[in-house]
Amino acid sequence: MPAITALLHTANDALRMGRTLETLLPCAEFLIIDHHSADATHRIAREYGARIIAADGDTVGSEYLDLARHDWIFCISPGESMTEGLQASLFEWAALPAYEVAGGVAGGRPFSVCVREQVRKNWLDLPFPETRLIPRTWARWQGQLPAPEPSAIPLEGDLLRFALP
């Protein structure tokens, strides 16, 4: 069974991070890369058992993959939350034998999720899925999140992006 590390980049996200961490039930580890927060971000992260690493300048996400304890990384931003459907998909995925994920079902390929973004009082379904579950060897990045990969395997369920805490 492959375990998942959740990777979050934070910067004064104390008001938003709790909701995010609450929904990461399928993840065995929370790895927080903190970009010099001056609020309660560290305290909240510790309350959820997260490991906190101080960011080293303007680095991209791939520079922290070797710090994860697991070979699969779920990248998420503060202010985003997993729906129950996405949680269920990840629990099912993690229940697969490791050889099926590495060589069979996924072959080391990344997975994507649909994102719904809060716009005022409504929800907007973004037009393209976003690559979020990646193997530790992933090398393509767009800032702090994995770059889009058209061949990524879609997961059921949504990732919700909230406009405000």
Tens digits of per-residue pLDDT, 36-50? 999 999 999 999 999
52 residue type, one letter: I
Give the C-alpha separation, 151 to 159, whole Å. Answer: 19
Which residues make Cβ contacts (< 8 Å) with residue 121, sequence separation at least 6? Answer: none
Q: Residue 46, Cα to own-chain centre: how many angstroms? A: 18
Q: Residue 136, Cα to own-chain centre: how many angstroms? A: 13
Burial of 44 (0-12, 13-18, 19+ CB in 10 A): buried
Identify the band that residue 104 occupies on the pLDDT scale cut at 50, 70 and 90.
very low
In three-state secondary structure terms, 102 is helix
DSSP character string of 54-68: E--SS--GGGGGGG-
Instruction: Please give the pLDDT value at position 105.
Output: 46
The proportion of the chain whose per-residue pLDDT surpasses 90, expressed as a percent, equals 78
In order of their start, the domains of the chain are: 4-161 (3.90.550.10)
In the DSSP assignment, the letter for residue 100 is I
Rounded to the nearest integer, the mean pLDDT of the chain is 91
Strands 80-82 and 153-161: antiparallel
50 and 31 in contact (C-beta within 8 Å)?
yes
Task: Flag whether pLDDT at 120 surpasses 80.
Answer: yes
pTM, 2 dp: 0.93
